[in-house]
Each structure stands twice: as structure tokens, then as C-alpha cells.
Amino acid sequence: MKIFYSPAHQDHNPPFEIFDGGEKVANFEVPQRAERILTALEGTGWAEISAPADFGLEPIRAIHDADYLRFLETAFEEWLGQEGEGDADYTKVELLPATFPPAGWRRRPESLLGRAGYYMMDLSAPIVAGTYPAALAAANCALSAAQAVAGGSPAAFALCRPPGHHAGRENCGGYCYINNAAVAANWLSPPVTAGPGSHGRAALLDVDYHAANGTQDIFYERGDVLTISIHADPAHEYPYFCGYADETGAGTGAGRHRNLPLPIGSDDAAYLAALEEALRLIRQFAPAYLVVSIGMDIYEADPLGKFRVTRRGIREIGSRIAGLGLPSVIVMEGGYNNEALGENVVAMLEPFASQGQEISRP
């Protein structure tokens, strides 16, 4: 199975985030996550690990606002160049805003901190010097996986870090800066599907613990990409303001988005029941390609999740998705139990890998 990984992610290493209630804590989304996954994959015997190709900015600009991308590229250097009061070791370590626009206030300010509040959804997506290069590399991993699948591979895995599914058209948040899965899905199924470079329409299934609000934002009014997110009920979990069952798309995208929120404490059986509904919708849509955003924060021992999904359940989720028989691009999202993360990802991917060869299971 083709795996795409870039060490550029290591330079995105924010030292802290502002957690629920305003507590300053060590960042949960750390380089160790990707390294644990890489190590586990290297031990499988079926993972073919490669560096991603460079696709340039065009496929990313097709998804994200150009001014937002310029902000990601220049914000930290601009921040370092500004004079300010306070302890420089604290104020210049990473960029986070202090002010966010209320609903309906969408005027874009000129000041850096004003733009930070405009483009950043929360306080869990700090920007440091290596953030933009790492985000570009993650997007290229997803695009490389899409290219491999379009070229005939039954499945490919993009070991993306930072993750992407909370990044909307013009915002970052929830550790996410560029929506890697959305970039890959759009590359496979651009809006004018008969145009040059079109491969066939895609479905995008998100199985992270948290709602794929960024993916929903990007495709909500498009009818050519089916998007489905299975996640914890946003009435009680991040991202709170998006991910409800009655949000089903608009305009030409009406009926093309589905949220399947689950109660806190949902176990293997509850999750798999929701997954069966998602798979039914995908079969009905009959896409040429499937993009799967996987988040191992559904795992029962994840520090940022409250489901009770076991590793056996994770393997079964992978098996049922692979059972669709669709060419599949699998994109890494969340998962913060670093001790278990690598083996959980292997458990999810094994059924896809076995489509091409027999593999031994523990």
C-alpha cells in the first residue's frame, strides 16, 4: 500500500495552545503523532513509504481563499517583525489572536492581530515559523495519494500532519490549516467534471471524533461531491456550532452533505450502525473515488475523545469501508493517544492493504 509522508511536519511544533476555559496547556497535536504512525507502518511489511510530489499552489487555491493562504504564509514572520510590549519569549513564540468577530461581523481588518482573529476559528491552531511549509507538505501528501489512486492503486494513505478537516475555505482551527482531504477530493472531482484533469466524482467520508466543519464549509453548496461526517454530537463537543443532523447542504449541494452525530460514550455497535448508514449513502451516490478522513480520537482511550470504540472496532470500521471496493484515498486527521496511535492506524489501514495482498494479522 502506498504511503505518503513528509518530515516537513516536524517544523510545525507549537509549544502550547489555549484549551477549554482558557487554560494554557502543552499542544496535543505534536510531531510525535506522525512519527509513531510512521514507525508502526514501517513494521507492517506492506507499507510502501514515499515522499510526496509538489503539486504547487493551484489545487490548494481551488479550495482555500487566496488572502487566507497569504496570511498563513506570512503571519509569523510579520509577527516577529512587530514591536510590542511584554515578554518577547512569550509573545513571539507563536501567533494566536485575542479577538474574534461575532456572528455577522466579517470585515477584514488591516492589522495582523485583527486578521488573525478573522482567519482563526479558535485558540488551538497556533502559527509558528514551520506551520505553512508543514501544511503545504501535508496537502501534497493528500494530493500524491489521490494521484496514486487515480493511477490505479486500490488505496493510498496520506500521513498528513498537521491535519485538515477543521480548516474551512478561509479559516484555520482545531489544529488544522489546509483541508487536505478536501484538496484531494476536489483534485479528483473538480467542479467542472468534464474539464481537463477530471477523474470522476468523489465521496468524502470523515470518521474523526469531531465534526468535519471545514469540509462541510467547503463543499456545502456543491452537488458533485458527497460529504458525510460521523462524529460526537456538537451540542456537547467541539466544534459546537456546526455538525448537526439538519445541516444537509444548500443550493446545488442540497442533500449532498450528511452529519451523523453520536452521543458521548458511543461504543463499537453504535458507531458501526452509523457507519452502515454512511455506506448506504455512498453506494447510492455511486462515486468513482472515495476520500476517507480518519481520526483515531474515536478510540476509547483518547484524551480528546469520549467514545468507547475499541481497536477491534477500528479494524471493523476499516474493513467495512474497504468493503465498498472503491479506489480510496485515506487521509490522517486526529488521534492523540500517542502510545496507541500507530497500532490504531495500522488496524484501520490493514483491510485496505489486504485488497492488494494477503497480510498477517496479530
How much is the pLDDT for 356?
57
- Strand partners for 228: 205, 258
**Of 217, 291, 207, residue with least CA distance to 64:** 217
Q: How far apart are the first and last CA of the chain?
A: 18
- Phi and psi at 227, nearest 5°, equal -120, 135
How is residue 162 annotated by DSSP? Answer: S
Is 208 part of a structural domain of the chain? yes
Is 125 part of a structural domain of the chain? yes
Count of domains forming the chain: 1
The radius of gyration of the chain from alpha carbons, rounded to an integer in Å, stands at: 19
Q: Model-level pTM?
A: 0.95
Provide the mean pLDDT of the chain: 94
Is 244 part of a structural domain of the chain? yes
460526537: which residue's cell? 232
Is 360 part of a structural domain of the chain? no
**Of 61, 65, 72, residue with least CA distance to 127:** 72
CATH of the domain at 118: 3.40.800.20
How much is the pLDDT for 322?
98
Is 359 part of a structural domain of the chain? no
How much is the pLDDT for 85?
47
**Of 98, 109, 125, residue with least CA distance to 239:** 125
Q: Give the tens place of pLDDT for each residue, 202-224.
A: 999 999 999 999 999 999 999 99
The two counts, helices (H) then strands (E), for the chain are: 11, 10
Q: Where are the alpha helices (DSSP H) in 166-236?
A: 180-188, 213-219
Grid cell for residue 46: 506492506
Is 257 part of a structural domain of the chain? yes
Domain that holds residue 103: 2-353
Say if CB 101 and CB 119 are below 8 A apart. no
Q: Is 199 a catalytic residue?
A: no
Is 313 part of a structural domain of the chain? yes
Measured distance CA(321)–CA(324) in Å, rounded: 6
Question: What is Dmax (Cα atoms) for the chain?
Answer: 61
Is 74 part of a structural domain of the chain? yes
- Candidates 64, 165, 166, 257; catalytic one: 166
Enumerate residue ranges in the chain where pLDDT < 70.
Answer: 83-91, 192-199, 356-362
